[in-house]
């Protein structure tokens, strides 16, 4: 009999119960006991759901108050010194929260740990801080407590923990200047492995049969020192005497498959959704005695699985391996919404194509059952229903848009080139007449409660179209007058009409669907609700032109049109799985190109296409980078080059490093790029300097994530640093990012000083 298991279930709860409980606890409205109760309820509910679906093992250790990496870091007692943790006491929950967010109901506030993206997902983990000779100990008991909690509820459990090599790889420390790959980190294993062994022994003493150890770094380019460390590490962990399932996901193992050869673990999990063609390579190194766990249900996307295809892939293996074949989702279900049944507004046809975490458990159970000698009628009926739904999806008129497909074919011949920058910029300067060090902002102005209320009431129907129009126009007029008064050079309309930079466009484009409760954890208590791109993208009507044109009608100064770029829309949505990402991105680019041309025709002389997610779209493996960059750059150019030379194209990126992608950034050929740099003290500009980046740049002069108002002198000094690296004629002055999360008081104060800084620079 094939065994089924899960690598992790979303922890937030279908109604975001965990978010609410956390925020209530942080604000003092609820006690620690209330929070603990919510956590216990959620765990019990999720285990029950998984067991009821028929899974043989439920995961334990996937629950986290803030982040599962942070849970593990605190269990190991790896608490940075600034949090004043005694090395004898257990780590308190509030210490974990202080590490995650800088403060908690008790304890002294301290700088939070750094947060960064978890592999190529939109989930963020807290970066472990590594110190040479660090000592570790079991400093929290949550894992053991939760194992007992699940066992008491009658579940057969499989604890899930981050692997020592992945944990070290993700960690950072001043002493490890080579970054992720720094081989000096491996010296920490001497102290780390004994604690891992203790953990494994204690798990074993609880009567647990299997432990899953996650080593997703096996999907990355690993230096030889890291590859060979696996043998040493797992040999030592094997001594604890509990069977280990080594889990990999998110990528093809490629050459790292050799690491598995002879590795003393009892089982291996691989992701066959992302990399179906790695099965043969893995079969060649996994022995018949070892368990092979295959991830066949997509843990990263929301589509129903083609179960016939999955079944065909594993049928013979199931016979040959029996209970040494395990089936699972490709990775933890953390990355998909909890339950499709919480959606009441999706139409039946579309629902039939979708599967959220809860539905994926059923898919898994049906798949396993269909492999048994006498499949149950339930699974056979379910399979048949799913077959019909998927056939319906293939044939649906809602997916296929003839015009989009024709445009896509024709786009191969569309021009991707504008006149050289040196020529364009002269025409633009003639038209715009901007001073040296021109000032601008990134697009959004504070989203006040009144703005949010207007948008909400309009959506619910409580506010009429005309009343809503009037309210938004009032906001636009307000920000235009404000920007004129303080003397900014290139103005924006303020984005009051946008709830979110992707959702706003998705709602106006064809081929998108939205959920009511499709929340996915982004970090801590923060969740996002990504749109679902299900069909060919179309732009039935202009999306931003009326707002931008109205803003422009109020002033003599140029107002920037403001769009979200194709790559960012793609990255922050659930994307269709029936065509390459690249194709969907091109469709988005074509829709945006129409918008860009319409903006130009409406008299907008400066158009910004935001691409904050450009870098995060990079594949996990270097070998795949150039292909991605090629189409990503092409999509950006496709969306921008429809305009005249004198129309100025801006782009904006934040949270990016540019060193290794500077060539692609230059190939995008935006006239102006504004980037987040203030926190790096202009260090990020080194890449532009070394490359001799030719076009205009606006390095952000202040961090919009902080309410602090920056000093004029400080901004001047930053710009002077920038001017040492780049030609002053090419420089713009602007904040790091949009201002939507700020209040008006600090926004006004900061921008007045920023304009002052630009003026000071012009006269020196």
Regarding 509 and contact with Zn ion (CB under 5 A), the answer is no
563 neighbors 545 (Cβ within 8 angstroms): no
Smallest CA-to-CA distance from 59 within 310, 419, 465, 332 is with 332
Q: Is 113 annotated as a binding-site member?
A: no
Regarding 567 and contact with Zn ion (CB under 5 A), the answer is no
Smallest CA-to-CA distance from 562 within 599, 518, 513, 602 is with 599
Q: Is 518 annotated as a binding-site member?
A: no
Q: Is 117 annotated as a binding-site member?
A: yes
Q: Tell me which of ligand GLN, Zn ion, none is bound by residue 722, counting a contact when its beta carbon lies within the kind-specific cut-off of 5 to 8 angstroms.
A: none
At closest approach, how far in Å is the CB of 704 from ligand GLN? 9
DSSP β-ladder status, 510-513 and 532-538: antiparallel
Q: Is 659 annotated as a binding-site member?
A: no
Q: Is 379 annotated as a binding-site member?
A: no
Cβ-based nearer residue to Zn ion, 337 or 612: 612
Q: Is 746 annotated as a binding-site member?
A: no
DSSP letter for each residue of 641-664:
TTS-TTSEEEEEE-S---GGGHHH
Cβ-based nearer residue to ligand GLN, 370 or 747: 747
Q: Tell me which of Zn ion, ligand GLN, none is bound by residue 740, counting a contact when its beta carbon lies within the kind-specific cut-off of 5 to 8 angstroms.
A: ligand GLN
At closest approach, how far in Å is the CB of 680 from Zn ion? 14
Q: Is 122 annotated as a binding-site member?
A: yes
Site string for Zn ion, 599-618 (x = CB under 5 A): -------------x------
Q: Which helix (H) or strand (E) holds 293?
A: strand 291-297
Cβ-based nearer residue to ligand GLN, 495 or 671: 495
Q: Which helix (H) or strand (E) holds 533?
A: strand 532-538
Smallest CA-to-CA distance from 664 within 593, 567, 561 is with 567
With tokens 């000698």, the residue in question is 373
At closest approach, how far in Å is the CB of 167 from ligand GLN? 30
Q: What tokens appear for 59 in the block?
A: 């995961």
With tokens 């990402």, the residue in question is 581
At closest approach, how far in Å is the CB of 145 from ligand GLN? 39
Cα 69 to Cα 118: distance, rounded to the nearest angstrom: 10
Cβ-based nearer residue to Zn ion, 106 or 116: 116
Cβ-based nearer residue to Zn ion, 143 or 654: 654
At closest approach, how far in Å is the CB of 734 from ligand GLN? 10
Neighbours of 412 (CB within 10 A): 7
At closest approach, how far in Å is the CB of 257 from ligand GLN? 38
Contacts of 556 (CB under 8 A, 6+ apart): none
DSSP secondary structure letter of residue 731: B
Among 9-17, 299-307, 548-556, 647-655, which window interacts with Zn ion (CB under 5 A)? 647-655
638 neighbors 594 (Cβ within 8 angstroms): no
User: What value does the CA radius of gyration of the chain take, rounded to a whole number of Å?
Assistant: 27
Q: What tokens appear for 580 in the block?
A: 């390459």
Q: Tell me which of ligand GLN, Zn ion, none is bound by residue 563, counting a contact when its beta carbon lies within the kind-specific cut-off of 5 to 8 angstroms.
A: none
At closest approach, how far in Å is the CB of 495 from ligand GLN? 6
Cα 278 to Cα 288: distance, rounded to the nearest angstrom: 17
Which string of b and e fits 281-309 if b means at least 16 CB within 10 Å? Answer: bbeebbeeebbbbbbbbbbbbbbbbebee
Write out the catalytic residue numbers.
705
Q: What tokens appear for 356 in the block?
A: 């959220």
Cα 335 to Cα 329: distance, rounded to the nearest angstrom: 11
Which position among 649, 654, 716, 754 is part of the footprint of Zn ion (CB under 5 A)? 654
With DSSP H G I counted as helix, E B as strand and the rest as coil, what are the percentages for the chain, rounded to 5? 50, 15, 40
Q: Is 185 annotated as a binding-site member?
A: no
Smallest CA-to-CA distance from 210 within 56, 69, 102 is with 56
Binding site for ligand GLN (CB under 6 A): 442-444, 495, 501, 562, 610, 612, 652, 654, 737-738, 740
Smallest CA-to-CA distance from 596 within 505, 708, 483 is with 505
Q: Is 572 annotated as a binding-site member?
A: yes
Q: Is 495 annotated as a binding-site member?
A: yes
Q: What tokens appear for 354 in the block?
A: 């979708």
DSSP secondary structure letter of residue 299: S
Q: Tell me which of Zn ion, ligand GLN, none is bound by residue 562, counting a contact when its beta carbon lies within the kind-specific cut-off of 5 to 8 angstroms.
A: ligand GLN
Among 269-277, 575-583, 618-626, 736-744, which window interacts with Zn ion (CB under 5 A)? 736-744
Among 178-186, 468-476, 596-604, 730-738, which window interacts with Zn ion (CB under 5 A)? 730-738
Name the residue with the smallest CB distance to ligand GLN: 738
CA angle 298, 302, 305 (to 5 degrees): 50
Cα 24 to Cα 32: distance, rounded to the nearest angstrom: 10
Q: Is 18 annotated as a binding-site member?
A: yes
Q: Tell me which of ligand GLN, Zn ion, none is bound by residue 584, counting a contact when its beta carbon lies within the kind-specific cut-off of 5 to 8 angstroms.
A: none
Q: Tell me which of ligand GLN, Zn ion, none is bound by residue 162, counting a contact when its beta carbon lies within the kind-specific cut-off of 5 to 8 angstroms.
A: none
Which position among 367, 383, 672, 737 is part of the footprint of Zn ion (CB under 5 A)? 737
Which stretches within 371-496 are classed as H helix?
377-395, 402-411, 421-432, 449-460, 465-486
Contacts of 7 (CB under 8 A, 6+ apart): 59, 62, 160, 212, 214, 247, 249, 269, 295, 299, 328, 329, 331, 332, 333
Identify the burial level of 625 via C-beta atoms within 10 angstroms of its C-beta, where 0-12 means exposed, 13-18 middle and 19 or more buried: middle
Q: Tell me which of Zn ion, ligand GLN, none is bound by residue 259, counting a contact when its beta carbon lies within the kind-specific cut-off of 5 to 8 angstroms.
A: none
Q: Tell me which of ligand GLN, Zn ion, none is bound by residue 443, counting a contact when its beta carbon lies within the kind-specific cut-off of 5 to 8 angstroms.
A: ligand GLN
Q: Is 253 annotated as a binding-site member?
A: no
Cβ-based nearer residue to ligand GLN, 486 or 538: 486
Among 353-361, 627-635, 683-691, 733-741, which window interacts with Zn ion (CB under 5 A)? 733-741
Cα 182 to Cα 563: distance, rounded to the nearest angstrom: 39
Cβ-based nearer residue to ligand GLN, 576 or 740: 740
At closest approach, how far in Å is the CB of 612 from ligand GLN? 4
Q: Tell me which of Zn ion, ligand GLN, none is bound by residue 444, counting a contact when its beta carbon lies within the kind-specific cut-off of 5 to 8 angstroms.
A: ligand GLN
CA angle 164, 170, 176 (to 5 degrees): 100
Q: Tell me which of Zn ion, ligand GLN, none is bound by residue 648, counting a contact when its beta carbon lies within the kind-specific cut-off of 5 to 8 angstroms.
A: none
Q: SS in 3 state form for 153-183?
A: CCCCEEEEEECHHHHHHHCECCCCCCHHHCH
412 neighbors 639 (Cβ within 8 angstroms): no
Cβ-based nearer residue to Zn ion, 159 or 612: 612
Q: Is 19 annotated as a binding-site member?
A: yes
Cβ-based nearer residue to ligand GLN, 70 or 675: 675
Q: Tell me which of ligand GLN, Zn ion, none is bound by residue 99, counting a contact when its beta carbon lies within the kind-specific cut-off of 5 to 8 angstroms.
A: none
Among 128-136, 260-268, 409-417, 729-737, which window interacts with Zn ion (CB under 5 A)? 729-737
753 phi and psi angles, rounded to 5 deg: -65, -35
Cβ-based nearer residue to ligand GLN, 159 or 446: 446
At closest approach, how far in Å is the CB of 748 from ligand GLN? 17
At closest approach, how far in Å is the CB of 751 from ligand GLN? 13
Q: Is 308 annotated as a binding-site member?
A: no
Length of the chain equals 764
Cβ-based nearer residue to ligand GLN, 357 or 661: 661
At closest approach, how far in Å is the CB of 104 from ligand GLN? 28
Residues annotated in the binding site for L-methionine, as ranges? 442-444, 495, 610
Annotated binding-site residues read: 16-19, 117, 122, 442-444, 495, 526-527, 572, 610, 616, 652, 654, 676, 737
Summarize as ranges the residues that interact with Zn ion (CB under 5 A).
612, 654, 737
> Residues at the annotated binding site for Zn(2+)?
652, 654, 676, 737
Known binding residues for L-homocysteine are 442-444, 495, 610
Residue numbers in the known binding site for 5-methyltetrahydropteroyltri-L-glutamate are 16-19, 117, 122, 526-527, 572, 616
């Amino acid at each position: 009999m094939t065994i089924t298991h899960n690598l992790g279930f979303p922890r937030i709860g279908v109604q975001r119960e965990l978010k609410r409980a956390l925020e209530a606890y942080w604000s003092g409205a609820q006690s620690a006991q209330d929070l603990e109760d919510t956590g216990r309820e959620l765990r019990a509910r999720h285990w029950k759901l998984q067991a009821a679906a028929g899974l043989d093992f439920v995961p334990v250790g996937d629950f986290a108050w803030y982040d599962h990496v942070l849970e593990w870091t605190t269990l190991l007692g790896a608490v940075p010194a600034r949090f004043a943790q005694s090395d004898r006491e257990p780590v308190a929950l509030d210490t974990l929260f202080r590490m995650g967010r800088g403060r908690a109901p008790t304890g002294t506030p301290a700088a939070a740990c750094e947060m960064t993206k978890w592999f190529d997902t939109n989930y963020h983990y807290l970066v472990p801080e590594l110190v040479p000779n660090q000592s570790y100990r079991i400093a929290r008991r949550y894992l053991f407590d939760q194992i007992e909690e699940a066992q008491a509820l009658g579940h057969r459990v499989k604890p899930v923990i981050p692997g020592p090599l992945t944990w070290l790889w993700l960690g950072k420390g001043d002493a490890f200047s080579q970054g992720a790959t720094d081989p000096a980190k491996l010296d920490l294993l001497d102290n780390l492995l004994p604690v891992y062994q203790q953990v494994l022994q204690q798990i074993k003493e609880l009567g647990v049969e299997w432990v899953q150890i996650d080593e997703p770094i096996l999907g990355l380019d690993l230096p030889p020192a890291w590859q060979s460390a696996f043998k040493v590490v797992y040999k030592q962990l094997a001594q604890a005497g509990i069977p280990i399932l080594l889990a990999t996901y998110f990528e093809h193992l490629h050459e790292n498959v050799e690491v598995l050869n002879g590795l003393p673990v009892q089982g291996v999990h691989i992701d066959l959704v992302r990399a179906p063609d790695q099965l043969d390579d893995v079969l060649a190194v996994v022995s018949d005695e070892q368990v092979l766990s295959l991830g066949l249900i997509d843990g990263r996307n929301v589509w129903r699985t083609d179960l016939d295809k999955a079944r065909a892939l594993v049928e013979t293996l199931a016979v040959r391996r029996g209970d040494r074949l395990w089936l699972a989702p490709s990775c933890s279900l953390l990355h998909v919404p909890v339950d499709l049944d919480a959606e009441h507004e999706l139409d039946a046809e579309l629902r039939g194509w979708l599967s959220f975490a809860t539905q994926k458990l059923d898919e898994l159970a049906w798949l396993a059952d269909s492999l048994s000698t006498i499949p149950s009628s339930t699974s056979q009926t379910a399979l048949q229903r799913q077959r019909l739904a998927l056939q319906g999806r293939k044939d649906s008129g809602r997916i296929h848009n003839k015009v989009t497909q024709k445009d896509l074919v024709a786009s191969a011949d569309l021009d991707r080139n504008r006149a050289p920058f040196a020529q364009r910029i002269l025409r633009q300067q003639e038209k715009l007449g901007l001073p040296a060090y021109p000032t601008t902002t990134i697009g959004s102005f504070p989203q006040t409660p009144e703005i949010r209320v207007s948008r909400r009431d309009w959506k619910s129907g409580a506010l009429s179209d005309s009343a809503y129009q009037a309210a938004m126009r009032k906001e636009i007029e307000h920000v235009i007058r404000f920007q004129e008064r303080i003397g900014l050079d290139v103005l924006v309309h303020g984005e009051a009409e946008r709830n979110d930079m992707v959702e706003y466009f998705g709602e106006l484009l064809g081929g998108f669907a939205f959920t009511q409760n499709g929340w996915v954890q982004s970090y801590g208590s923060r969740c996002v609700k990504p749109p679902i791109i299900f069909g060919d993208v179309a732009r039935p009507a202009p999306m931003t032109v009326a707002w931008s044109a109205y803003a422009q009608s109020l002033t003599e100064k140029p107002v920037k049109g403001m769009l979200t770029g194709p790559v960012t829309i793609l990255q922050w949505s659930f994307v269709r799985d029936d065509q390459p990402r690249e194709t969907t991105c091109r469709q988005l680019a074509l829709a945006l190109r129409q918008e860009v041309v319409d903006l130009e025709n409406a008299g907008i002389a400066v158009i910004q296409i935001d691409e904050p997610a450009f870098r995060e779209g990079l594949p996990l493996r270097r070998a795949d980078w150039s292909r991605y960059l090629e189409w990503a750059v092409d999509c950006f150019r496709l969306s921008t080059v429809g305009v005249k030379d004198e129309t100025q194209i801006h782009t904006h990126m934040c949270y990016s490093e540019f060193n290794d992608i500077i060539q692609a950034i230059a190939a995008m050929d935006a006239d102006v790029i504004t980037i987040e740099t203030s926190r790096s003290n202009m260090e990020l500009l080194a890449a532009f300097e070394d490359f001799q980046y030719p076009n205009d740049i606006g390095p952000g002069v202040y961090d919009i994530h902080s309410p602090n108002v920056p000093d004029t002198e400080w901004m001047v000094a930053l710009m002077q640093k920038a001017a040492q690296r780049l030609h002053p004629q090419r420089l713009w002055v602007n904040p790091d990012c949009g201002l939507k999360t700020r209040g008006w008081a600090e926004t006004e104060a900061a921008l007045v000083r920023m304009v002052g800084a630009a003026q000071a620079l012009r006269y020196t």
